Amino acid sequence: MKKMLMAAGVAFVLGAWTNVSALGVQANGNPFLAEYTTPFKVPPFDKIKLEHYKEAFLKGMEEQAQEINAIVKQRSAATFENTIVALDQSGKLLSKVSAVFYGQNSANTSDEMQAISRELSPLLSKHRDDIKLNAGLFQRVKFVYDQKSKLNLTKEQAKLLEETYKDFVRGGANLDAAKQAKLRELNSELSMLELTFGQNMLKETNDFQLIIDKKEDLSGLPASLIASAADAAKAAKLEGKWLFTLHNPSVMPFLQYADNRALREKIYNGYINRGNNGNKSDNKEVVKKLVTLRLEKAKLMGYKDYASFMLEDRMAKTPEKVYALLDEVWTPALAKAKDELADIKAEIKKEGGNFEPEGWDWRYYFEKAKIAKFNLDENEVRPYLELNNVRDGAFYVANKLYGITFTEIKDIPTPHEEATAFECKDKDGTHLGVLYMDFFPRESKRGGAWCGGYRSQTYENGKRLAPVVTIVCNFSKPAGDQPALLSADEASTLFHEFGHGLHSLFRDVHYFGVASVPRDFVELPSQIMEHWVFEPEVLKVYAKHYKTGEVIPAALIEKLEKSGKYGQGFATVEYLAASLLDMDYHVLKEVPANLDAMEFEANVMNKRGLLKQIPPRYRSTYFNHTMGGGYTAGYYSYIWAEVLDADAFEAFKETGDIFNQDKAIKFRNNVLTPGAIDDAMDMYKNFRGKEPGTAPLLKNRGLM
């Protein structure tokens, strides 16, 4: 029953029922209602029309309702096969359309798609609840669960049974009728609020424009950014001007390089006030309702707060353990950030400035401080980080570690005209899956970067059905006659998302219900890949000047190595601030009736001594990770997983070979392949031979 569909980096669990027999659903011409005939059976994106989605969703829910009814009504006593497996394998059409719809709604949305998602939200919420609160179905699941010690199940089967039973209990199956009715109401409201939050955030991001019409106001900006802004202005019918937006490839380098302080302030305030503008897209009231209803749900389920409910089946288990890690890193990170602030003040003084630095000054003067300390300008590095070369560098690392290959596929449907497709083959030539890559920002794409999927790995008739994986980013576009040149951060992001992609491609499980690892383990496969991106041995393979083909000079690599930990105070503090904010909302035992999200945020940040120049990486009104539902009480997961990935990479380095085959095989077999068949920490110990400590993380960030 539990179909884990990776969309927007979030695992969607879809289930259950609505009556659509009277709606006249027709299969004619709807690609979802027939078997795909495309290469590798990828979705026929070019044939899918908006009207196909709702039709397939309704039909999919109807089909699964019939499957659930058949499980419940059968006369045979409940068994693992006729109940647990049948439930796990139900809803295939619903999973099929959901994977495409939610993937496209994140990467290539429209007003019409967003309207469909709002229309479907209450139906799908009811749909999930109709399965989890089906008394007859739960009775059969519990019957099998109570006999688990007698069933002689494999490890994978035993884990599926455990997860299925737990899913029902956490879904409210043990509540009385009145509480179940209330739970349905809360789930429906929460689903719609989370959807609304994300749609508001996208609109706020797209609505802001900084239009420059004086050439002198471009002072300090790299030529590539100026060219991109000119292209954006031309596309917006503002020829002869320059258009800057709140998409990261535009706003971040503007803050880093623009000499005009007033314009830096304007775009900075636009960025940090998304969802906080008192307009139709304002998210403050949405945040208040989300936090309030989540707490109400947690208490209904018997928990003291929502974080306790969410953390129960993750590695951390309790809020106390999350705070212990965050607080351990916060103190040295804040001290490091204060050192960096002193450097920034020195740069301001050096220029003759007599003002206290603000948030819109940090990146600008930090860049100057880095140049002064290390003689390194990021624009020296960009020419060596051409997008296709960085991508090929990620492919190279995967090949060296695991022997796998990636070959571009030309004649295949793609989710967007800018997306490219690759076939991934194992060392022996076996097909592992299809990987899409969609790299550039557009108004129809939400911000950030993520790895999702248009089909999850599974088995059909005893044969492995390979996944269809997608990596979606918002990188700097080609501008003028210059190709897409990445920043160091963007190169790391590509390797990060590629790590998620490898996790999906290598996964080999027989049941959907054991496919997805805990939220605070899922970043291990992605973050460990970041360790290879700037290793000198790897840079020499892919970092080639886009004009001359010259390999990145050893002197520049040395500068990168020396400066690599500079700036970790800011980076760590802004991340931890967001993680703490997420937790602080969700450990509330009572939510004040007059809760103001921005006041709450200011209070909890001030108590911890957050520097005024460093806002949380995501402020309350655009914190889609937590308010959108994917990382609720879970944004800490990145630093939790970094404890694992920093220690895991040490395992490679200790051998003297960052491509050590023994370690690579153990990592693939114990971490990347088994899904969630084993406990997360057991998987890690099976690879490493011990539990990790925090020392490698602190060392990696330059905090010890």
**Which H helix or E strand runs over 211?**
strand 210-212
Reduced to 3 states (helix: H, G, I; strand: E, B; else coil), residue 551 is strand
CA 438 to CA 553: how far, in whole Å?
A: 30
| C-alpha distances out from residue 137 to 131, 141, 200, Å | 8, 6, 38
Chain-centroid distance of CA 405 in Å reads 25
Task: Report yes or no: 19 and 107 within 8 Å, Cβ to Cβ.
Answer: no
Tokens standing for residue 304: 């003291």
CA 309 to CA 401: how far, in whole Å?
A: 38
Tokens standing for residue 567: 């700036």
Report the candidate in 518, 541, 544, 550 with the shortest Cα–Cα distance to residue 636: 518
Residue carrying structure tokens 């194992």: 426
| C-alpha distances out from residue 295 to 176, 289, 301, 335, 578, Å | 19, 10, 10, 34, 19
**Antiparallel, parallel or unpaired: β 3-7 and 210-212:** unpaired
CA 401 to CA 426: how far, in whole Å?
A: 12
CA 611 to CA 609: how far, in whole Å?
A: 6
φ, ψ for residue 452 (rounded to 5)?
Answer: -130, -165
**Antiparallel, parallel or unpaired: β 468-472 and 431-438:** parallel
Report the candidate in 199, 361, 366 with the shortest Cα–Cα distance to residue 268: 361
* Annotated catalytic residue, options 163, 194, 423, 497: 497
| C-alpha distances out from residue 483 to 125, 227, 385, 438, Å | 44, 11, 10, 15
| DSSP state string for 492-548 | HHHHHHHHHHHHHHH---S-GGGS---TTTTTHHHHHHHHHHT-HHHHHHH-B-TTT
530 is catalytic: no
CA 616 to CA 606: how far, in whole Å?
A: 12
Task: Report yes or no: 698 and 704 within 8 Å, Cβ to Cβ.
Answer: yes
Active site residues: 497
